[in-house]
Amino acid sequence: MDQFIVSGGRPLRGRVRVSGSKNAALPILISTLLTDVPCVIDNVPDLRDIHTTLRLIEQLGKRVEWIGSTVRVRVARPLGTAAPYDLVKQMRASILVAGPLLARRRRARVALPGGCAIGLRPIDIHLAGFRRMGVGVSFSHGDVVLRTRRLRPADIRLRFPSVGATENLMMAAAGIPGTTVIRNAAREPEIVDLARFLESLGACVIGAGGAVVRVDGAARLGGARHSVIADRIETGTLLIACLAAGGNIRVEGAGGEHLRAVLDALARAGAKVREEDGGIRITAAGRPRPVSIRTRPYPGFPTDLQAPWMAAMSVGRGRSRIREEIFEKRFLHAAELGRMGAWIRTDGEIADLEGVPRLHGAPVMASDIRAGAALLVAAVAARGRSEIHRVYHIDRGYERVEVKLRALGVRIRRVNPEKSSARAQLPS
């Protein structure tokens, strides 16, 4: 398994281009299942989750051609109805195939992602919405089985603005005639990008980005070419790394309009943030001022940047508090940051930090994408050598992150000890 070796403690300098958004690309690629006409998606990041998504839609009958950052999707076989466990277990977002499959095939069988043993809560909002559209829900052999005689448009109120449920229901609604209304919808920029894509396929989507989304669908949709928006989470991670390590960088291709809460927190922490033509520049020096945050649905501070923010606040000039209001148990990175000298105490949804003057390099382990990003931020800021294990988590969400960090002057290498020791054993 790959590891990152980072020698940190130097300010960042230079410019780097942000990739296309993973979280926007996933539902957009999946919604090509709504049509038999070829589609072309540009600005797709080369990430493990995207590979999984493409395998999933191939399994469901598409042929995919991926050159550079452009993915071409067309029909290879009649549309399937089942998303198997070997793919779903790699990516929870696989449940998003349910919406398009229900619209087109009136049934879908999707393996339940791991971790659902603690009840069906993690997809209950999706299922409640589908039930309103006339879908019967049952469970069999670890799969959720969805069936309907006729998928019908509905007026749906979500109990929480779930991003995935909003997307799933928008896709289902886009593939049937009639008007579906989704209330208390998620307002994330990725929802707006999906809406734009569904519109170019021929559906009419009004209100995306607000709390009420109206989708007027059609039984037959066309094809489209679409360019995915920039990844606001990758942008935020790079800006936060600069806050933690100091320096002066420009993130090309990034816009501030999707990152208001984060840019505001960066400015309060003492960084100078400038939105320039075609990018964002940040200048930071010395330890950040402590800034407490709470994660909220968009436009609040994104949960996906909570972990990197914690890494930066670990070296803040005083106490700060982080409140995680979106996901339970999303503080796994705190203990690893502790191994690098951070002082963090967690209790339920709250983490209290007392900033230390410096982190020191250490061997640490990524437990999920964003926890991995936090360890990268910490390693870049820390004095000395860090080894980050289980880099595959980071690879799920950050495209060639070591190349980008090197462009900013970070000393970082990707190594694979197993491969190098295997090579060492080869006869010369």
Span 166-195, contacts to ligand UD1 by CB under 6 A: 186, 190
Residue of 163, 169, 376, 410 interacting with ligand UD1 (CB under 6 A):
163
Residue of 121, 141, 149, 150 interacting with ligand UD1 (CB under 6 A):
121
In whole angstroms, give the CA distance from residue 140 to residue 153. Answer: 26
Closest CB 257 distance from ligand UD1, rounded Å? 17
Do the beta carbons of residue 172 and residue 130 sit within 8 Å? yes
Residues taking part in catalysis? 116
Do the beta carbons of residue 133 and residue 152 sit within 8 Å? yes
In whole angstroms, give the CA distance from residue 237 to residue 47. Answer: 16
Q: In what order do the strands lie in the sheet with 272-276?
A: 12-17, 247-252, 279-284, 272-276
94 binds ligand UD1 (CB under 6 A): no
Residue of 39, 50, 60, 165 interacting with ligand UD1 (CB under 6 A):
165
Structure-token pair, residue 74: 């067309």
Closest CB 25 distance from ligand UD1, rounded Å? 9
- What are the residue ranges of helices labelled H in 67-188? 85-88, 98-105, 124-132, 163-174
**Count of residues binding ligand UD1 (CB under 6 A)?**
20
Nearer to ligand UD1, 190 or 234 (CB): 190
Residue of 123, 269, 310, 375 interacting with ligand UD1 (CB under 6 A):
123
423 binds ligand UD1 (CB under 6 A): no
Do the beta carbons of residue 79 and residue 149 sit within 8 Å? no
* Chain residue whose CB lies nearest ligand UD1: 164
Closest CB 307 distance from ligand UD1, rounded Å? 11
What DSSP line would sit under 41-96, residue for residue? EES----HHHHHHHHHHHHTTEEEEEETTEEEEEESSS---EE-HHHHTT-GGGGG
126 binds ligand UD1 (CB under 6 A): yes
For 18, half-sphere exposure in the C-beta direction (CA atoms, 13 angstrom radius) is 27
Span 324-383, contacts to ligand UD1 by CB under 6 A: 326-327
Interacting residues with ligand UD1 (CB under 6 A):
23, 26, 93, 121-126, 160, 162-165, 186, 190, 303-304, 326-327
